[in-house]
Amino acid sequence: MQQTKPIEYWTEQIKKDIADHRVFIYAKGEKNAAMCGFSARVMQIFNQLGVPFEVRNIFADPNIRPAICAFTNWPTIPQVFIDGEFVGGCDIVTEMYQSGELQKRFEAPAEQN
């Protein structure tokens, strides 16, 4: 059994995850095996756009969820980061996709942090 890592570890890992990937999703489940409809929907949107993304399964360690929720001050999962910025969860990403705003973000080159 894998040992639980402290919340402080996950806070630093979150900073690294979002710095290393243009799109990063904290989700319930894995990239190809979402464990909730909201996480699946967010991943489906990025797949439809052909935008590469990475996922961290919040169920992999019991301290990931409290760490990400404290980091963003946002209570729900999934949580989506684009270019190092927290953009929101499923409802916000879906709304951005339906309005065309999300597609426009990926027409421009990634912002340099």
31 has a pLDDT exceeding 70: yes
Question: Rg for the chain (alpha carbons), in Å?
Answer: 14
- For residue 91, give its domain range: 7-107
Q: Indicate whether 20 belongs to any domain.
A: yes
Question: Between β-strands 79-82 and 54-57, what pairing exists: parallel, antiparallel or unpaired?
Answer: unpaired
pLDDT at 107: 87
Q: Indicate whether 2 belongs to any domain.
A: no
What average pLDDT score do residues 48-62 get? 96
Tally the domains of the chain. Answer: 1
- pTM comes to 0.92
52 has a pLDDT exceeding 70: yes
pLDDT at 113: 46
Q: Indicate whether 113 belongs to any domain.
A: no
Please tell me the distance from the alpha carbon of residue 83 to that of residue 36, in angstroms, as a whole number: 25
Mean pLDDT of the chain: 93
Q: Indicate whether 65 belongs to any domain.
A: yes
Query: Residue 15's domain is classified under what CATH number?
Result: 3.40.30.10
